[in-house]
Structure 1
Amino acid sequence: MSEAVSPPPKRSRRGLVIFVAIVLVLIPLVAMHVLTRKKPARENTAIVVTVASATLGSMPVTLSELGTVTPTATVTVLPQLSGYLTEVGYHEGQEVQKGQFLAQIDPRQYQISKQQAQATLAKDRASLAQARADLARYTQLNERKSIAQQTFADQQFLVQQDEAAVQADLANIAQFDLDLAYCRITAPIAGKVGLRLVDPGNYVTASSSTGIVVITAVKPTTVQFTVPQDALASIVQRMNSGAKLPVTAYSSDNAREIATGTLYAISNQMATATGTVTLRATFANDDEALFPNEFVNVKLLVDTMSNAVLVPTAAVQTGAPGDYVYLVNANGTVSVHKVKLGPSDGRNTVILSGLAAGNQVVTDGTDRLSDGAKIEPAHAKPAAAGVNGASGAGGAAAKPEAASESGFKRLLQRVFPPAAKPAAPASSSAASS
């Protein structure tokens, strides 16, 4: 049985040598076939895009800036004299009118000082009356040459001194009247009071910097914001022509409109560090929607452009040529068209030059386009058929590759037939058995 199985290994070694030799010959042929095989040409299919036409319309020229609500007046009410605070006549957060009672300082000390000044005035007035009576007698005696001239002149000076003393007493009384008025603290402006800064019973002084209360004017109020120097010329020109430029205040997240007002003041200097100038707009603020020192977003309407060429903002591209759009040509292709942009409201953009009304531009699908690319508008139904045709062409192009691979396999099968089967010894052993 061992003698019958031993001859096949010699034939298998010979077949292995032949197999290796054929593989070494076929490798260069296969490599050359793969490298020189031409790829099937694919059709240049149209790219489905969305197009829109340039139209004529109006575009508001607005400036969007960050602003701060700035009250027209903020007053810290300070005591004008020293004394104990006996009464507070307001509630925290209350709206007060000009002249309304706010606080009371103990006035007794100043009332006593006034009474003393009044007593001094009465005394000085009596001295003045006596001096004037003596001057009248001295005048008669001087006319008859019965008195020395020096005595008459001294009496005249004495009357003047008593008159000055009376004037000083009157001034002292007026000062104490003013002190008594200062004891009753009233609101210097109309507005809303803040939190109380001092309680009744405390001793306040005229040098106190804390104050009694802070009053802020909230109706009307203003919003202060800055604009770049490049936009200043158009604003000044519009204001000098008498136009009232509307200003709209929005919340800090731009989610809602808070109030509308008008621009009324431009600063007289420009900030050299930032190249901006400060503007101020006034708002009625009857509903108190604008809170002092609040940050808001401001939109200033400078002008309105009429009969401007408008395109959707999505059509505007920026790249190496600058600002451009993909212009739809009559032959179904697109071309890169450079344009000059104007203001935008987010949805539409003004084209100052480079386009005319009626021109069609691509608004969606621009990332797949290039200059001269063939397009198919998205609203055209043949676009779907074009896509299917492209897939069919791809399938047809794949068939030669499959045919080439199957032919190569058949070639290998012819060169290496399944003759050297390792199952032959098993069959022989089975036959012997």
Structure 2
Amino acid sequence: MSDSTVDVTKKHHSFGRKLKYGIGFSLLIVLIIGGMYWKKVSNKPKEEYSQWSKPVPVRIVPVQRNNLDVEIKAIGTVIPVHTVNVQSQVSGVLQRVHFKEGQWVRKGQLLAQIDPAPFIVALAQAEGTRQQNLAQLQNAENELSRYQLLFKQDSIAKQQVEQQQALVNQLKGQIQSNRAQVDAAKLQLSYSKIYSPIEGRVGFKQKDVGNLIQANESTALVTITQVHPIYVQFAIAENHLAGLRETIKSGQQVKVSAWDKAEQQQLAVGHVQALDNQIDVSTGTLKLKATFDNRDDRLFPNQFVNVRLNAQTIQNAVSIPSDAVQHGAKGTYVYIINKDHKAEIRSLKLGLSSNGQIEVLAGLDGTEKVVLEGIDRLSDGKEVQIISDEQKHRPVTESATG
């Protein structure tokens, strides 16, 4: 190998080493600069931002101070004022039925006819016996008159007169008994016609024409219910008893309204008729009976209805919506909004509730505003943003430039 070739090779290796060292040095410079930049960036203070740090949007309602009508809700059963099971008082064949099932009948209206033939015969027999005894009595009285005349003439003994007088008295007693037998036969004959004892609506008949009816049997011929007026029976908790009794003692009628099962339609309006004489110890409730005119037949016997009872009126009561009340370890409380637009906790002592409103006995004076919605994000001293009903229901629109 020539010397020139060796020199070229040495130069080539020397250039390669210099190039490698240059690249490594450049990478080292880049790493140093990058590290310094990262340190600078990482040490820069971060901007504090959190959705929870913003004021909490809430909806508020003012505390009310007015008369609070305490309304009690219960489940009631419609019951007739009178229910009569019509039965025959005599035995016989059912001859005719004078009503239609479900028909409205008046008091004293003829409902059915039992075959009267046996009772007509019994009446005739009783009257015949009475006439026979009347004839014997008349003859005995005539004999007594003759005996008394003969006794005055001293023609017969006094004993004969007394015996004849006794016979007359005996026949008079028989006549009185005969009269009672005739009246009994007439009464039995009258029982062959069955009349309605009350005004009301008849149900389904239980006996068809041609059947033998037994007197006072367990199965009634038909049932009649009086529904004008009509009762609704229900029960309330015993803690409402004191206020209810005070209202009744004051002479006021306690209003009661009956609603359908869905509580969407009011069926009738009435008033409390009577309170039971004792509390049911097993349930802690008191039974009440309310009366309704029911001329439109909206209430039907044995129907279940929802009852709303206006038990009492609390004058000048401080009240708030029941949904605003919170329950915690320290008792019941609400959030109010102070003048700095911050939430503040107020502990409460509560009274009776009605129609979504609850009476506040202590804790509020009636001038505050309580939080109704947005409570889950609130805490004592938290700043709030009050949302009006218009803002709450305002539709959200997209920005045209967004």
> Please, what TM-score do these two structures have when normalized by structure 2?
0.81
Report the AA paired with residue 186 of structure 2: D
- Which residue, out of 118, 121, 126, partners 2:127? 118
1:13-412 correspondence runs (5 A): 44-379=53-388
Segments of 5+ residues of structure 2 without an aligned counterpart are 1-41, 391-402
CA-CA distance at 1:233 after TM superposition: 1.7
Change (3 A) 1:363 1:173: same
Q: How many residue pairs end up in the alignment?
A: 346
Residues 261 and 283, structure 1, Cα contact 8 Å, conserved in 2: yes
The 2-side partners of 1:79 and 1:270 are apart by: 39
Query: Partner of 2:24 in structure 1?
Result: none
What are the Cα deviations for residues 190-212 of structure 1, in whole angstroms up to 9, with x where unaligned?
A: 00000111110000010311111
CA-CA distance at 1:341 after TM superposition: 2.3
Report the AA paired with residue 367 of structure 1: D
CA-CA distance at 1:41 after TM superposition: 5.7
CA-CA distance at 1:319 after TM superposition: 2.2
The 2-side partners of 1:138 and 1:132 are apart by: 10
Residues 313 and 348, structure 1, Cα contact 8 Å, conserved in 2: yes
The 2-side partners of 1:51 and 1:280 are apart by: 41
Q: Secondary structure at the match of 2:70?
A: strand
The 2-side partners of 1:68 and 1:222 are apart by: 8
Q: Secondary structure at the match of 2:163?
A: helix
Change (3 A) 1:56 1:269: closer
Q: Secondary structure at the match of 2:148?
A: helix
What are the Cα deviations for residues 341-376 of structure 1, in whole angstroms up to 9, with x where unaligned?
A: 233344433322211222121111111112222222
Poorly superposed stretches of 4+, deviation over 6 Å: none
Segments of 5+ residues of structure 1 without an aligned counterpart are 1-33, 382-433
What are the Cα deviations for residues 110-131 of structure 1, in whole angstroms up to 9, with x where unaligned?
A: 1011111111111100000011
Report the AA paired with residue 160 of structure 1: N
What are the Cα deviations for residues 292-331 of structure 1, in whole angstroms up to 9, with x where unaligned?
A: 0111111111222333223233321122222210121223
Residues 247 and 262, structure 1, Cα contact 8 Å, conserved in 2: yes
Q: Secondary structure at the match of 2:142?
A: helix
The 2-side partners of 1:63 and 1:239 are apart by: 15
Name the stretch that deviates more: 326-335 or 96-105.
326-335
Q: Secondary structure at the match of 1:72?
A: strand
The 1-side partners of 2:46 and 2:175 are apart by: 122
Residues 257 and 268, structure 2, Cα contact 8 Å, conserved in 1: yes
What are the Cα deviations for residues 383-417 of structure 1, in whole angstroms up to 9, with x where unaligned?
A: xxxxxxxxxxxxxxxxxxxxxxxxxxxxxxxxxxx
The 2-side partners of 1:49 and 1:248 are apart by: 36
Query: Partner of 2:22 in structure 1?
Result: none
The 1-side partners of 2:388 and 2:123 are apart by: 95
Residues 59 and 343, structure 1, Cα contact 8 Å, conserved in 2: no
Change (3 A) 1:313 1:275: closer
CA-CA distance at 1:39 after TM superposition: 9.1
CA-CA distance at 1:289 after TM superposition: 0.4
Name the stretch that deviates more: 83-92 or 309-318.
309-318
Name the stretch that deviates more: 278-287 or 53-62.
53-62
The 1-side partners of 2:281 and 2:152 are apart by: 81
Report the AA paired with residue 218 of structure 2: S
- Whose helix proportion is higher, 1 or 2? 1
Name the stretch that deviates more: 339-348 or 372-381.
372-381
CA-CA distance at 1:379 after TM superposition: 4.5
Q: Secondary structure at the match of 2:277?
A: strand
Report the AA paired with residue 335 of structure 1: E
Q: Secondary structure at the match of 2:227?
A: coil
Q: Secondary structure at the match of 1:226?
A: strand
CA-CA distance at 1:42 after TM superposition: 5.3
The 2-side partners of 1:57 and 1:234 are apart by: 18
Residues 88 and 200, structure 1, Cα contact 8 Å, conserved in 2: yes
Between the aligned residues of both structures, percent identity stands at 38
Q: Secondary structure at the match of 2:166?
A: helix
Name the stretch that deviates more: 345-354 or 119-128.
345-354
The 1-side partners of 2:349 and 2:77 are apart by: 34
Q: Secondary structure at the match of 1:76?
A: strand
Taking only aligned residues, the RMSD between alpha carbons, in angstroms, comes to 2.2
Residues 333 and 373, structure 1, Cα contact 8 Å, conserved in 2: yes
